[in-house]
Structure formats: C-alpha cells, structure tokens
Amino acid sequence: MKVVLPSNGLLGTKWVDLREPTFEDLRKTQHATEDEYLFKYEFIKGLCEFDDTKITMDDVQYIYEVSATAVTFNTVTMSIKCRSCGTKITSDFMFGESEMNVRTLDKDARKCSKVIEGVEYNFHILSAADGVAIHTYALDDEDSERMIEEATVCRVLGYDITDASIEKVRNLPIALYVACFLYIKANWHGMDIKKEVECPNCGTKHTMQIHLDSTWVKMDLPTFIAQFAAVRTCLDFKSFLKFTVPEFQNFAAYLNAEAKKKNSNG
C-alpha cells in the first residue's frame, strides 16, 4: 500500500510502500523496547523500507498509525472531564467511525532561524534518524525525560548529541529552549484523529483527540494463543503467523460458519 507522508517529501522521501502487519510482526512486539518512539520506529521498519534521514519523526508516528489501523483488535477507551459540569465522559474509540484529517508540512518549514541575545540560531525539522539518536541517548536512564528534552534541543539546533553540546544546551537562554519546542509544535504534521462526544449530564459537546501509542499493536501472549487456538485445527503455527489481522478474521469467520453448517446438518 502506497502511503504518502505528511512531511510532503521535505527531507527527501515523499511516500513509502507499506505492507499490513501479520501475526509474526505482532508477536515480535512482545519483546520490544519500552521506549515509545523506538518501538514505533522498529515496528514500521519491519513493514516498509525507508532512509531514516529522509523521513521525519512525525512521519514515523504517521506510518505507525496507518499500520495500527490494520490491527483492529483494539478499542481504546478514553475519558475526559466535561468543561461545563465536571462529569467524567467515557467513550470508546474504534478506527473507521471517527474523523481523521491529515495535516501536512509546509514547504518553507525547513528555513527557520531566530536571533536570541544577538546570536542567530537555525532550527531543523527532526528526521526519523534524529529521533533514534535522541531516544537511544536517553534509553534506560532514570532521568530519560530530561535527557530526551535536552537531546531534542540539540538536534533541532543541528548539534550532534555529545556531552559538550548537551552542556551547551543547558546554558542556552530559556527563550531559545522554549522556541525549539514551539518550533516542533508549530510544524507538527500527521494524522489528526478526533471524535465528538456529548456530556451525558449536561449535553455539552466536546472534541476528543486521540494519540495512538504502542498498545494498539501490542498483543499479549494469552490473546495471541487464543487467536491461534481458533484456527489450529486446520492451520499450522507457521502459516498462522503469515496472516494479517483482517485475513485472520475472515478465515476464522469462515471456519465458524462451516462448523455451524456441520452442526445443523448432523
């Protein structure tokens, strides 16, 4: 499936050829890293080929979301607080029934500089490779959140992630530090997934925004085994692993129908 990227080819790649995840891909996620970004990066790397310096970090999230839509076992239950009366509103989200818009990146996004305290700084859109460098740097560290932040500022400003540049970043004017994150936010590109919900108490309408995390494609062992158990009488494990989720659902439904036919005949 050809997936056009929301970065609009800004770093060099306009689209990727993505295949649907199979049970084999889902099985691998059981032993994957805890880091959200690296998890998604590894997951999509198994599903399509790309040069990670030519797609953006936001593209990684986007490709991940497109592939997660093919795995429909998961329903996410979300809740927000009503802004009028404070009632907790809970709603299930399923792909296909909610609004999805894609926000693409502006061609001029790459050229951005800012003069702070007399020094000119250039800002850069983060590539998928930048994301790997940032998250690998902070991996397995107690202080990972702060490290991710500092490494992100390094890469936005175009510095390599070294002890020296981390030290430099720590001493930057706070306005510049903030500007780096505003720059990322302003240039955010990807899938905007929303759902309209109504407060059951006062009827106020709300827009829920959904961010897809790794749980969408993580299948725990019991679920995995239960899926295989449904087809094991006519499918060996190796063949089962090659199925995509929709293929599997069709196949299981067919087996069910056949079993019912047999029962009613006999």
From 95-103, 176-184, 197-205, 230-238, span contacting Zn ion (CB under 5 A): 197-205
Contact 155, 183 (CB under 8 A): no
From 35-43, 78-86, 167-175, 212-220, span contacting Zn ion (CB under 5 A): 78-86
SS3 131: helix
Q: Which of 53, 75, 79, 84 binds Zn ion (CB under 5 A)?
A: 84
Of 219, 215, 209, nearest in space to 243 by CA: 219
The H or E element spanning position 178 is helix 174-186
Contact 23, 239 (CB under 8 A): no
Of 162, 180, 188, nearest in space to 109 by CA: 188
Asked whether position 81 contacts Zn ion by CB under 5 A, the answer is no
Shortest distance (Å) from residue 94 CB to Zn ion: 23
Contact 194, 209 (CB under 8 A): yes
Shortest distance (Å) from residue 205 CB to Zn ion: 10
Q: Which of 82, 134, 156, 172 binds Zn ion (CB under 5 A)?
A: 82
Integer Cα distance of 130 and 25 in angstroms: 24
Q: Which is nearer to Zn ion, 85 or 178 (CB)?
A: 85
Shortest distance (Å) from residue 203 CB to Zn ion: 7
Asked whether position 79 contacts Zn ion by CB under 5 A, the answer is no
Number of residues that bind Zn ion (CB under 5 A): 8
Shortest distance (Å) from residue 93 CB to Zn ion: 19
In the region spanning residues 24 to 63, those forming contacts with Zn ion, defined by CB under 5 A, are none
Instruction: Look up residue 259 and give its amino acid.
Output: A
Of 64, 61, 50, nearest in space to 11 by CA: 50
Q: Which is nearer to Zn ion, 207 or 223 (CB)?
A: 207
Asked whether position 199 contacts Zn ion by CB under 5 A, the answer is yes
Q: By CB under 5 A, name the binding residues for Zn ion.
A: 82, 84-85, 87, 199, 201-202, 204
